[in-house]
Structure 1
Amino acid sequence: MSGPDLSGFSMLDLFRAELETQSQALTEGLLALERNPVAADHLEAAMRAAHSLKGAARIIELEPAVRVAHAMEECLVAAQRGRLRLGQEAIDALLKGVDLLALVASDGPNGGAAAEPAVARFLATLDRVLHGTQEAASTAGEMPPPAAPFEPPPAEPAMRTEPGDAVHGGGGSERMVRITAEAMNRLLGLAGESLMEARRLRPFLDRLTRLTRQHAALAKAFDELRAVLPPNPEEEVADALVRVQDRLGASHDALAERLAELDALDLRASDLANRLYAETLESRMGPFEDGVRHYARTIRDLGRTLGKRVRLDIVGGSTGIDRDILEQLDAPLGHLLRNAVDHAIELPDERAFAGKPVEGVIRVEARHSAGLLQILVSDDGRGIDTAQLRRVILARGLTTPETAAQLSEAELLEFLFLPGFSLKETVSDISGRGVGLDAVQAMTRAVRGQVSISSTAGIGTTFQLELPLTLSVMRTLLVEVANEPYAFPLAGIAHTLRLPRTDIAQLEGRSHFRFGERQIGLIACHEILERGEPKADQSELAVIVIGDGEGSYGVVVDRFLGERELVVRPLDARLGKIKDISAAALLDDGAPVLIIDVEDMLRSAEKLSASGRLRALNRTSAAVGARARKRVLVVDDSLTVRELERKLLAHHGYEVEVAVDGMDGWNAVRSEPFDLVVTDVDMPRMDGIELLTLIKRDARLGVLPVMIVSYKDREEDRRRGLDAGADYYLTKGSFHDDALVGAVADLIGTAYE
């Protein structure tokens, strides 16, 4: 049976990979032995890890590591044989040995031979621990049993995968393929695109199904036609009817057969794309425990520094989490855990007086809930003194005494997330500098999550982080702004509502509305994105509330398009940071959509508000004061024809815009709303047929009526225009004023209907 392909790695690389695995086993075993020094299973696991590292270091001739590992093994064997009880000093020394092994194997300036002085000091410390305890035992009349050397076979070096590596096994063998995180992201993006492309089959299938129903209606109409014919039609007519009926039946059967084949293809393609995407996404996932288990040692050492006994419990360690999120969570989790040790966990005497175990417990739990990843960091410490918190808020002038007295406990706790805020009166290397919880909130929001806090005095404190399962897929609310779709991440939305214009209030020249007990500023998304004006003929506004507390804003969009789950595609790095935009995605029909950066949009709203340049929103719809006029776009490269049509339609009440060719017209219809497009055929850059084709293929513009007005009056020219999707074909050579206006009215009605 073939083993892993390790040919691309040096022997030192292999040792470092094994060191990472075995060091973790050593650390976990030693932390467990600190609580129960005679636990046989933990003694055995720690001793085997030290022995394996000694053998591996000897193979690569890393002599300092051999001596360190051998001394650790001797100490653990002595504990197994009863010659040594692993007290606090012994555990401290052995944990330092774990750190020293990493230093010896490193390429840094203190690694390798340069670590020799540290090795000598460690060996002297461990020798004192080992022999000092043995001498004390002998003095007490105890005879140490003979030590039989323990020589298990050396463990085979295990290869650690780097971030972005993928490991595949099959048939009992394991093969490693190195792949960069960037390549994995591209692969996931392609898998997401394949998923979107597979979903495009369903709308096409639905259209064919409607066509089948239309075919059935045609067959029914044919039967009705036969029913009204004379009983004995002429032989030629009867034969023609039979042929038509046969062809209708055959075409219906063929269409039904192709439809069934396409339906099966849709199912297979969707299943394959979903499995491909799920497998690719799974390759980015890792167990939550991988990112937090190293904190067990950190918590223990920090507690020792502060004179506290504390341990870390990990619950739900196997819960899957995106490795990118896991990496970005490292810093905020570190803040929360250090704060828990320093602020929350009491000293042993204080805990004993309160009737608690002298050892404090910090618990980190991960679980999936409602499509999100929930991480809870809790402790059994003293809890947060809300009375003290209220006093600190007042002392810093963060609110008035009247307001502070009315704040609920949840509202008080929110002040802990303010930059520079701390309840700690003294400053230390661990905490008290006011840096931590604001960073936790910022980093959590950076991965589209949110954090909340709850606390009970004397019982403990819990922080709850709600995060997406992956950064590659985002649940969003699609909206329309100036006839373009945009996506708001659901995690960044506090509320959505339809706001009657009559509920808009003007305060100091700015638009507001009452939301619960608060007044919230109202701003048009069009103004932030510099995309024209919101629709003035709507009696209700579609509003998205973003932000928290006093920093909330109601963002007005043209309309809600519904929730979508989008595969996030990062923007090209050469574009730099685009204001108010975080990324992009593709909709089911393949159309691109920009994803809003909610935090950036909040900052933009703040800047506009501070500058005094915010435009007020009207309390009444434009339709109340005046009837909205139908808008027509005239596209023609002839100035004379263009102006003639503009004046004629404007005279009859229509609002008319003009474009000089097809390209100009295409840009116009994508940026502004129109009720009708009137276009010539022969034009530079883009002719009328191309413009017509683009409009009819567009998912949003496909229902927009298009009229062709052309000098080409041949039947094939007319058929070409109608086949391309034109709703009306009028020739310039024969049209007069009434003909053009009548055709426009036939398509969209009069100017004010």
Structure 2
Amino acid sequence: MNPDEIRDASLLELFQMEAVTQVQVLNDGLLALERDPRAAAHLESCMRAAHSLKGAGRIVDLEPAVRIAHAMEDCLVSAQEGRLLLQPSDIDALLMGADLLLRVATPGVDLEADIAQLQARLSAAPVARTRAEASAPAPAPQPAAPVAASAAAAADDERVLRVTADTLNRLLGLSSETLVEAHRLEPLNAAMLRLKRQQSEAARALETLREQLAVQQPPPDARVQATLDHAVQLMGDCAQTLGRRMDELDQFGWRMTHLSQRLYDTALACRMRPFGDGIGPMARSVRDLARALGKQVRLDVEGDATQVDRDILEKLEAPLTHLLRNALDHGIESPADRQAAGKPAEGVVRLQARHSAGMLVIEIGDDGRGIDLVQLREEVVRRELSTAPTVARLSEAELLEFLFLPGFSTRTAVTEISGRGVGLDVVQNMVRQLRGSVRVHQKTGVGMRFVLEMPLSLSVMRSLLVDIGGEHYAFPLAYVTHALEVPHTAIEQLEGHQHLRFQGRQISLVSARQLLQYGNAMQTPDPASVVVIGEHGSMYGVAVDRFIGERTVVVQPLDPRLGKVRDIQAGALMEDGAPLLILDVEDLLLSIGKLVADGRLARVDASGSGSVAGVTRRQRVLVVDDSLTVRELERKLLTQRGYQVAVAVDGMDGWNMFRAEPFDLVVTDVDMPRMDGIELVTRIKRDPRLQNVPVIVVSYKDREEDRQRGLDAGADYYLAKSSFHDEALLEAVEDLIGRAHT
């Protein structure tokens, strides 16, 4: 809320804003006091928060808030003075009061019964203690003044302003453009250097000419000599001026680049928030759920100051909550079971955030029972997800992947917390939306650990840049398993496909040029540059032309008018301003799966032939016609002759299919809805990657001007349906792409 909105807000709205802040202080302090009831600093912070809300309640004439805060304040003062040693039941009551303070300003909510219950519980707390507990010695409270002073100083240094997300996104975009523009000075500097070299060569040439004239007999005219001397002097002055200007340009370029980088880094930092900002309520949730389950659980958080993109932080709440609930319900045992197993009665759930290799890594682990692998194997077989012999051969990592399937659960009974199989599949889907991955590790009887790895920011992405067909593309590093240089001798032929050995297993080799539909085959260098993507059963090696290196790129969303572009996620700019496309690895894996299923994987070898590995590919023909009769007639005719045929119902459908899949020939009608055949032919012939595919037009229009219009658009044949016969079409097809391969 900006200052104008704050000025316009009602007193009640201002109280609600303050209540959110102060209740968070209460929650954090009370959870700490549950572990150490005598902690003077936490007692002081909780008492001050309650006191502030009591004063705010009086100002806005909110009498119920005053009563709640006063009851909490009395209890906390008793604890400060050593007359009360806070017990878990007292913490329950104080947390109940914190929840009531959040609801008390809501219109139409009657909290009288809850407030009366809270007052009774808190007022009875000192009486319920034994005299020994009440008189237990307490350490002298630590002076709070230095803490308050440092907090005030920090508040002055860290003033918080509310800025819209759209404004931050625009600022980051502008700063990235500034960084790109700053790098444009480098080629200018290089041009100036070339100019200086040329000037030096010209100066030497003039000096040589002057020396030759000096020894010439008869001597040259005095005016010629004077003009030459003047030219040499001017050239020297020019060299000095050019040198000074080059030094100034070099210093200016360095300052601009440095300043642009600082601007970009600062704009990026504006989008970052401490990890602790997004997990504030989780400690309270863990505590309440553990109490409800009758368990003793402590949440340890490490790396709460780790900087995380605000968009990622918001989307992490749901998956982290799922994992924490699973840890409490599935992992941590009851106190009795833990003591019987030789463990402390109190279980520990650890939540850790850190930066590693340009990525954000979050780990959630517990010291509970882990997973019973025998039970898990039996459950996989019972659900008919795999056969018993196959399951018996699965490694532990492969077996644990079943936990992420929708509806899968090892629980036999459904509770309010778990057992329906909803949770881990949601976690995996959400993490994938953040361009990340999730792995699970466990040790039976010792505990379980989930590792979430994702980019530091959705606005910038650490990527592996490659060259494919003379264009730059980026693989998000979060999806890259490995980057390899593979000699051709290491590429093997298995079951009709090319494979390479990676980490003790065979993985299929795929041509990036084929995936991105580059028609021009290229001789693959030896060794081949291969990017390994996917995981477990769906791991592939994608052969690219060459590696460029790792870069951090600013993600630029594609124009929404383009819709979803196959295999492409977004765009970006290189440091010199050159555009590049960021690949959608999940889309690539789907595209590879289709190529494998159709047996259309192209070879990746030194020949660069692009032929299908081990076999000759059948020619594919796309038939586009809005008439079902004509469409089926042409399809059957071509299929019987041995061609592989796909059909489209109109020009727009045909255009989309043609861009998505490779075809050797297009047969199209002219008069069709949404897009006619002439426009379809025109689009095909204007696309540099598709223009070499031949097109046959088959139309009822057989006038000479209609025929000429089709040929002018780029059609290779124009056949009239009025005089159409089977052999005419087949002869045209064979003339353009040859006889069908079988």
Partner of 1:382: 369
In structure 2, distance between residues paired with 1:184 and 1:58: 38
2:118 counterpart of 1:126: yes
Partner of 1:18: 18
Give the secondary structure class of the aligned counterpart of 1:310: strand
Partner of 2:291: 304
2:458 counterpart of 1:464: no
In structure 2, distance between residues paired with 1:422 and 1:258: 72
Identity of aligned residues (%): 50
Give the secondary structure class of the aligned counterpart of 1:357: coil
Give the secondary structure class of the aligned counterpart of 1:235: coil
Q: Deviations over 1:432-453 (max 9, x none)?
A: 3333233323322322333333
1:238 Cα deviation after fit: 4.8
2:331 counterpart of 1:336: no
Partner of 1:30: 30
Partner of 1:640: none
1:334 Cα deviation after fit: 1.1
Q: Deviations over 1:69-116 (max 9, x none)?
A: 2232233334445555433333222212222222223xxxxx32x321
Letter in 2 for 1:616: A
Partner of 1:740: none
Decide which of 558, 568, 584 is 2:571's aligned counterpart. 584
Instruction: Give the 3 Å change call, closer, same or farther, for CA 213–564 of structure 1 in structure 2.
Output: farther
Letter in 2 for 1:122: D
Give the secondary structure class of the aligned counterpart of 2:333: coil
In structure 2, distance between residues paired with 1:583 and 1:540: 30
Structure 1 runs not aligned, ≥5 long: 106-110, 145-151, 157-167, 626-662, 674-753
Q: Deviations over 1:166-205 (max 9, x none)?
A: xx999x6997654210121111111111111112212332
Decide which of 188, 196, 220 is 1:235's aligned counterpart. 220
Alignment of 1:63-78 (within 5 A): 63-78=63-78
In structure 2, distance between residues paired with 1:433 and 1:392: 14
Letter in 1 for 2:259: L
Q: Deviations over 1:431-490 (max 9, x none)?
A: 233332333233223223333333333332332323322222212222233333222212
Out of 88-97 and 404-413, give the one that drifted further. Answer: 404-413
2:46 counterpart of 1:46: yes
Decide which of 158, 171, 174 is 1:190's aligned counterpart. 174
How many residues align structurally?
Answer: 603
Instruction: Give the 3 Å change call, closer, same or farther, for CA 169–183 of structure 1 in structure 2.
Output: farther
Q: Deviations over 1:102-139 (max 9, x none)?
A: 2223xxxxx32x321xx223233224324544555599
Give the secondary structure class of the aligned counterpart of 1:383: coil
Decide which of 167, 187, 196 is 1:203's aligned counterpart. 187
1:361 Cα deviation after fit: 1.5
Alignment of 1:266-281 (within 5 A): 266-281=253-268
TM (normalized to structure 1)?
0.72
Letter in 2 for 1:255: L
Q: Deviations over 1:572-619 (max 9, x none)?
A: 334333322221111222222221111122223223433x16243265
In structure 2, distance between residues paired with 1:129 and 1:670: 77
Give the secondary structure class of the aligned counterpart of 2:355: strand
- Indicate if the aligned counterparts of 1:314 and 1:364 stay in contact, CA closer than 8 A: yes
1:506 Cα deviation after fit: 5.4
In structure 2, distance between residues paired with 1:288 and 1:136: 40
Partner of 1:115: 109
Q: Deviations over 1:282-322 (max 9, x none)?
A: 11111111111210100011111111011212222222221
1:522 Cα deviation after fit: 3.2
1:207 Cα deviation after fit: 3.5
In structure 1, distance between residues paired with 2:278 and 2:376: 32
Out of 196-205 and 82-91, give the one that drifted further. Answer: 82-91
- Indicate if the aligned counterparts of 1:539 and 1:621 stay in contact, CA closer than 8 A: no
2:333 counterpart of 1:346: yes
Instruction: Give the 3 Å change call, closer, same or farther, for CA 459–538 of structure 1 in structure 2.
Output: closer
Give the secondary structure class of the aligned counterpart of 1:312: strand
- Indicate if the aligned counterparts of 1:501 and 1:621 stay in contact, CA closer than 8 A: no
Out of 96-105 and 393-402, give the one that drifted further. Answer: 393-402
Give the secondary structure class of the aligned counterpart of 2:308: strand
- Indicate if the aligned counterparts of 1:137 and 1:143 stay in contact, CA closer than 8 A: no
Partner of 2:603: 617
1:411 Cα deviation after fit: 4.0
Instruction: Give the 3 Å change call, closer, same or farther, for CA 213–403 of structure 1 in structure 2.
Output: farther
Alignment of 1:133-282 (within 5 A): 133-136=125-128, 177-220=161-204, 231-232=215-216, 234-236=219-221, 238-239=225-226, 241-282=228-269
In structure 2, distance between residues paired with 1:372 and 1:10: 43
In structure 2, distance between residues paired with 1:93 and 1:624: 73
In structure 2, distance between residues paired with 1:115 and 1:398: 50
- Indicate if the aligned counterparts of 1:192 and 1:567 stay in contact, CA closer than 8 A: yes
In structure 2, distance between residues paired with 1:495 and 1:180: 38
Letter in 2 for 1:115: V
- Indicate if the aligned counterparts of 1:5 and 1:176 stay in contact, CA closer than 8 A: no
- Indicate if the aligned counterparts of 1:84 and 1:130 stay in contact, CA closer than 8 A: no
In structure 2, distance between residues paired with 1:597 and 1:174: 39
Instruction: Give the 3 Å change call, closer, same or farther, for CA 82–238 of structure 1 in structure 2.
Output: closer
2:432 counterpart of 1:448: no
2:567 counterpart of 1:601: no
Give the secondary structure class of the aligned counterpart of 1:294: helix
Letter in 2 for 1:19: A
Give the secondary structure class of the aligned counterpart of 1:47: helix
- Indicate if the aligned counterparts of 2:379 and 2:410 stay in contact, CA closer than 8 A: yes
In structure 1, distance between residues paired with 2:280 and 2:369: 25
Q: Deviations over 1:517-541 (max 9, x none)?
A: 3332333334433343442575664
Root mean square deviation, CA, Å = 3.8
1:621 Cα deviation after fit: 0.5
Partner of 1:542: 529
In structure 2, distance between residues paired with 1:246 and 1:402: 92
Give the secondary structure class of the aligned counterpart of 1:476: strand
- Indicate if the aligned counterparts of 1:538 and 1:621 stay in contact, CA closer than 8 A: no
Out of 206-215 and 300-309, give the one that drifted further. Answer: 206-215
Instruction: Give the 3 Å change call, closer, same or farther, for CA 619–232 of structure 1 in structure 2.
Output: closer
1:37 Cα deviation after fit: 3.3
Instruction: Give the 3 Å change call, closer, same or farther, for CA 27–283 of structure 1 in structure 2.
Output: same
